Amino acid sequence: MAQKAMDRVDYVEFYVGSAKQWAYYHKFGLGFNIVGYSGPETGIRDRVSYLMEQGRVKVMVTNSLYPDSEISNHVRLHGDGVKDIAIRVNNLDDALNDLKERKVVKFEKPVDVKTDSGVVHRSRALTYGETVHSLIDYGEFESKLPPNFEPVEFVGTERSGVTRFDHIVGNVEDKKMDRWVDYYVDGMGFEPLISFDDKDISTEFSALRSKVVHYNNRKIVFPINEPAPGKKKSQIQEYLDYYHMPGVQHIALHTDNIVETVSKMKREGIQFQSAPDSYYEEMAKRVGKIDEDIATLKALDILVDRDDDGYLLQIFTKPTGDRPTFFYEIIQRKGAKSFGKGNFKALFQSIEKDQARRGNL
């Protein structure tokens, strides 16, 4: 079979109000290493970026140094949020030819960025809201750092153990989900994976619909959510009201040991959604035998769900910034390939409690 044009998510870039503070959160809270810095000292005059890394997960945070810029405008409208889900491509010409033939996705003219170590070819494709996909062909480029980044001296912090991106979720407006699923499938060669309707994902109050697309045997997985009408406001609608546009709702990071990962993050003050005690009373019946001690999971508020292939453990942070928009998920898959449908109810009840406290339910 011919090689796929795209490979995997290379990094995610946030536009934020203070890159230094976001770097601190990722380093000490989430256990990332800060590996690179870019700013006036490295020849970039208008912005400051930090690159963080853990396992194969790379996160970049960027802030503008000037009030009138794409970055400042993005932060003013959306608050802190994801601008770019950058995708590593095997060959940029092939990837762009594929997009051109499919005639759906708009993308920028490719540019060659020269660095000390070689030339990186890159372009940007547009997606929902003001979110983009940088498409990056590293060619023979061996350096771990993007152009104009300088290495940051390693100061050891305890790693939390996340290993790779598992999935990255977009929230779009009501009745727009199918359009964006088609965008990825028809426009970029993704395949549909699974869908959930509002009967699967609703509580007494609010509901959402979700469809998942994937690329290259699940190397890239993008669920897309839209709000569904319920008795009260959908959490997806609350996101849209505060982000003022479609955007990235959460990034799921995989770990090989969720108990250790979440213990470390909680010690460092990261706040997570909690689960009601009743959730754990029914858990053994629902998921059957698992390796982990249920009392430990309960103490950490870790959720468990089973599908035909195995089970998964997952937990969600509270919003990372000040607006009720972006958050992280930590997930450990033990065979399961699904997304924790059995946990939707417990999770949403927890989110809705906060939504009600904000006066938005």
Footprint of Fe ion on this chain (CB under 5 A)?
252, 329
112 membership: H or E segment, kind and range: strand 111-114
Q: From CA 301, how far away is CA 279, in angstroms rounded?
A: 10
CA distance 20 to 79: 16
CB of 275 to Fe ion, least distance (A): 15
SS3 98: helix
As measured in angstroms, the least distance from the Cβ of 305 to Fe ion is 11
Q: Which residue lies nearer to Fe ion by CB, 252 or 297?
A: 252
105 versus 168: smaller Cβ distance to Fe ion = 168
State in angstroms the smallest separation of the CB of 316 from Fe ion.
8
Cα–Cα separations (whole angstroms), residue 11 to 50, 59, 157: 12, 5, 21
Identify the residue whose tokens are 């089973």: 306
Nearer to Fe ion (CB atom), residue 252 or residue 283: 252
Q: In angstroms, what is the minimal distance from the CB of 271 to Fe ion?
A: 17
**Cα 89 to Cα 140: distance, rounded to the nearest angstrom:** 13
**CA angle 140-53-60, nearest 5°?**
85
Instruction: State which residue, 63 or 325, has the beta carbon closest to Fe ion.
Output: 325
Cα of 117 vs its chain's centroid, Å: 29
> What is the DSSP code string of 147-192?
TT-EEPPP-------EEEEEEEEEE--TT-HHHHHHHHHHHH--EE
Smallest distance, Å, CB 222 to Fe ion?
11
Q: How far is the CB of 52 from Fe ion (least distance, A)?
A: 20
Q: Cα(62)–Cα(78) distance, rounded to whole angstroms?
A: 14
149 Cβ contact list (under 8 Å, min separation 6):
36, 37, 38, 42, 49, 51
- Nearest-approach distance from CB 252 to Fe ion, in angstroms: 4
Q: What length is written for the chain?
A: 361
| Nearer to Fe ion (CB atom), residue 305 or residue 329 | 329
The smaller minimum CB distance to Fe ion, of residues 237 and 338, is found at 338
100 CB-contact burial (10 Å; exposed 0-12 / middle 13-18 / buried 19+): exposed
Please identify, using beta-carbon distances, which residue of 71 and 169 lies nearer to Fe ion: 169
Q: Closest approach of Cβ 169 to Fe ion, in Å?
A: 6
CA-to-CA distance for 2 and 95, rounded, in angstroms? 13
Closest CB to Fe ion among residues 329, 352: 329
